[in-house]
């Protein structure tokens, strides 16, 4: 069922959060679906001194705990022989020689290799240098690919420095900069929706669209990731990467083809067209906040400052909202509002597109209250859906209007769901870069957020709070261009118009 060639996947940081929560479960699901190449080995690399058999128990336990309903012992007995373990210290140069010797065992490890950096961002370059110096990135016996997780740098300059370090050992074609949002089904469905249907194209521009909202809200807090999150914050963690990618897909022109470079060419053009925010306009375009204690699903939860590992005077934002403009012909004057937050009222990722009102309000007398514009809602998670809101006549003798939501949810209940990492791991094994970021995209995204990062890092005295379990700080409405614009909190008609603040 799979076209990927035999290969070895080497996971650095295999005992860490990402490998345990995402990579190993995704690989197990691919095993269950029969999508892993027949000859494929998974070599876990980390500091702990496990033997192969101890590692098998670790993986079996974590899969049983994390996905009890999906754990199938028969699948695990196929999966187990692929799993190997190699202890290594990231700063220890000689251990890369030992790793190379281990990988030279061709009977266990096919020579095509993927090296997955599931380590702390500051270790990416050390590991790649270790691999490069040990000759493990030379493609003489098979291909060598490296997957770099986000964040790629912490600002433009550091991203460029990281890139020049990586480029000493790797060609661009060997690098897979992952943004797991691009592996999500609905995100790809945005492209299908736009480019496989003619219906929307004439409307997809500033003549008809009033504004676009892209939201990612989570009820989770930082879940013990203070060390990373304190230096990142919501703007770097979610907006520079995931949400700007969503914006690029919504706003890009049709590519020449769906080939990776054509797609990435178009995304980069959009990112480069985003109007730079001068430092003196940051407050008009960006808003930050930090969660305080509150209730999440009726449970009392602590505020960000009480989280273990967070500095007592931290002003790291756990909520960020931005207003951006794309200065090109298609989008002139259309605001794109992006927002994300932890410990929010709901888990929800969605793109909501609001259309303008009809040029003449002929049916004013037939409704109560303001006109309802058309909306297109693309739910990314938890519900993958596509909804279009329209006005229709309400049944009855009078001419009254009401809002109807056409639901074109594309996944049926009995159709399998998959995790973004499953798709992306297969793409790496197949050498397909379409859903990975090119360096110019990463740089363009940093250029968008860098001025905000600079201003926020200088303003260290105050940050707006919001109670855990709410929709974020008060006052974010000041980002809106007009007073008939408001955050869309729900994909349903009821509760859509929550003009809470």
> Which residues sit at the interface with ligand BG6, rule CB under 6 A?
150, 180, 218, 237, 349
C-beta of 150: minimal distance to ligand BG6 in Å? 6
Kindly state the tokens that stand for 459. 């303003």
Q: How far apart are CA 404 and CA 406, in angstroms?
A: 6
C-beta of 177: minimal distance to ligand BG6 in Å? 13
Nearer to ligand BG6 among residue 180 and residue 323 (C-beta): 180
C-beta of 493: minimal distance to ligand BG6 in Å? 25
Q: Which residues contact 281 (CB under 8 A, 6 or more apart)?
A: none
Nearer to ligand BG6 among residue 134 and residue 226 (C-beta): 226
Residues known to be catalytic: 242
Q: How far apart are CA 248 and CA 336, in angstroms?
A: 11
Nearer to ligand BG6 among residue 109 and residue 446 (C-beta): 446
**Nearest Cα to 451, choosing from 318, 227, 336, 280?**
280
Q: How far apart are CA 144 and CA 429, in angstroms?
A: 10
Contact between residue 486 and residue 480 where contact means Cβ atoms under 8 Å apart: yes
User: Residue-wise over 416-426: b if at least 16 C-beta within 10 A, else e?
Assistant: eebbbbbbbbb
Tell me the DSSP string of 434-500.
TTEE-HHHHHHHHHHHHHHHHHHHH--S--EEEETTBSS-TTGGGG-SSTT------SSSTT-----
Nearer to ligand BG6 among residue 35 and residue 180 (C-beta): 180
Nearer to ligand BG6 among residue 218 and residue 443 (C-beta): 218
3-state DSSP assignment of residue 59 = helix
C-beta of 437: minimal distance to ligand BG6 in Å? 13
Q: Which residues contact 411 (CB under 8 A, 6 or more apart)?
A: 185, 384, 417
C-beta of 94: minimal distance to ligand BG6 in Å? 33
């Amino acid at each position: 069922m799979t076209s990927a060639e035999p290969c070895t996947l080497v996971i650095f940081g295999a005992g860490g959060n990402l490998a345990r929560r995402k990579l190993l479960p995704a690989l197990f699901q691919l095993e269950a679906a029969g999508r892993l190449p027949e000859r494929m080995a998974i070599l876990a690399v980390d500091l702990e001194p496990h033997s192969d058999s101890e590692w098998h128990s670790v993986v079996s336990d974590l899969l049983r705990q994390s996905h009890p309903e999906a754990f199938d012992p028969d699948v695990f007995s196929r999966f187990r022989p692929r799993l190997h373990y190699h202890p290594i210290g990231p700063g220890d140069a000689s251990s890369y020689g030992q790793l190379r010797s281990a990988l030279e065992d061709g009977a266990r490890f096919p020579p095509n290799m993927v090296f997955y950096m599931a380590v702390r961002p500051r270790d990416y370059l050390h590991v790649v240098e270790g691999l490069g110096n040990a000759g493990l990135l030379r493609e003489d016996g098979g291909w060598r690919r490296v997957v770099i997780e986000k964040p790629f740098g912490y600002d433009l300059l550091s991203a460029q420095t990281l890139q020049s370090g990586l480029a000493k050992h790797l060609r661009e074609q060997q690098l897979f900069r992952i943004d797991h949002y691009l592996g999500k089904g609905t995100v790809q469905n945005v492209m299908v929706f736009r480019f496989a249907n003619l219906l929307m194209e004439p409307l997809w521009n500033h003549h008809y669209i009033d504004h676009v909202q892209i939201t990612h809200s989570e009820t989770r807090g930082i879940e013990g990731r203070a060390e990373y999150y304190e230096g990142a914050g919501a703007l770097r963690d979610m907006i520079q990467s995931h949400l700007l990618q969503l914006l690029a897909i919504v706003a890009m022109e049709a590519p020449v083809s769906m080939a990776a470079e054509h797609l990435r060419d178009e995304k980069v053009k959009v990112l480069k067209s985003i109007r730079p925010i001068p430092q003196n306009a940051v407050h008009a375009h960006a808003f930050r906040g930090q969660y305080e204690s509150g209730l999440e699903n009726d449970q009392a939860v602590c505020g960000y400052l009480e989280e273990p590992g967070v500095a007592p005077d931290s002003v790291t934002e756990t909520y960020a909202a931005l207003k951006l403009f794309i200065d090109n012909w298609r989008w002139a004057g259309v605001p794109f509002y992006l927002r994300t937050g932890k410990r929010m009222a709901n888990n929800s990722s969605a793109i909501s597109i609001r259309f303008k009102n009809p040029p003449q309000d002929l049916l004013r007398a037939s409704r109560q209250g303001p006109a309802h514009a058309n909306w297109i809602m693309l739910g990314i998670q938890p519900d993958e859906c596509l909804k279009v809101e329209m006005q229709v006549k309400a049944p009855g003798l009078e001419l009254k209007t009401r809002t109807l939501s056409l639901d074109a949810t594309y996944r049926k209940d009995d159709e399998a769901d998959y995790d973004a990492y499953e798709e992306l791991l297969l793409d790496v094994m197949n050498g397909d870069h379409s859903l990975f970021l090119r360096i110019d995209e990463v740089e363009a995204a940093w250029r968008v957020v860098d001025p905000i990062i600079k201003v926020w890092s200088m303003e260290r005295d105050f940050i707006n709070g919001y109670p855990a379990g709410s929709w974020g700080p008060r006052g974010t409405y000041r980002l809106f261009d007009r007073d008939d614009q408001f955050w869309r909190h729900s994909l349903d008609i009821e509760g859509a118009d929550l003009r809470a603040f």
